[in-house]
């Protein structure tokens, strides 16, 4: 998937980037489909760094290495995040 990424300035200085990975988040209180966090990432390392930044916005979070997902808890309940191929 191709994504349009605007650099620090206006979008006329944008770059077209091939997105290989995306971060999905599932809220345990909702029966809705997972939502995408961010706009997609060219490398798994970029996606991993974005997951870590995202989790810092929660007071309680962790990683389940057996199931390969990250979790966070807030007033809305438990959230699960994982890196998925685009």
DSSP alpha helix (H) spans, the chain: 44-55
pTM for the full model? 0.72
Of 46, 29, 2, which Cα lies nearest the Cα of 37? 46
pLDDT tens digits in sequence order for the chain, 86 residues long: 545 454 455 554 455 556 799 999 998 877 789 999 988 898 999 999 999 999 999 999 999 999 999 999 988 889 999 999 98
Domain boundaries along the sequence of the chain: 2-85
DSSP one-letter code for 74 = E
């Amino acid at each position: 998937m191709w994504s349009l990424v605007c650099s620090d300035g206006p979008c006329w200085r944008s770059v077209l980037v091939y997105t290989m990975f995306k971060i999905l988040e599932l809220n345990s209180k909702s029966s809705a489909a997972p939502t995408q966090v961010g706009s997609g990432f060219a490398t798994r390392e970029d996606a991993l760094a974005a997951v870590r930044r995202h989790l810092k916005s929660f007071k309680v979070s962790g990683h389940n290495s057996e199931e390969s997902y990250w979790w966070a808890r807030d007033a809305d309940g438990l959230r699960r995040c994982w890196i998925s191929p685009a």
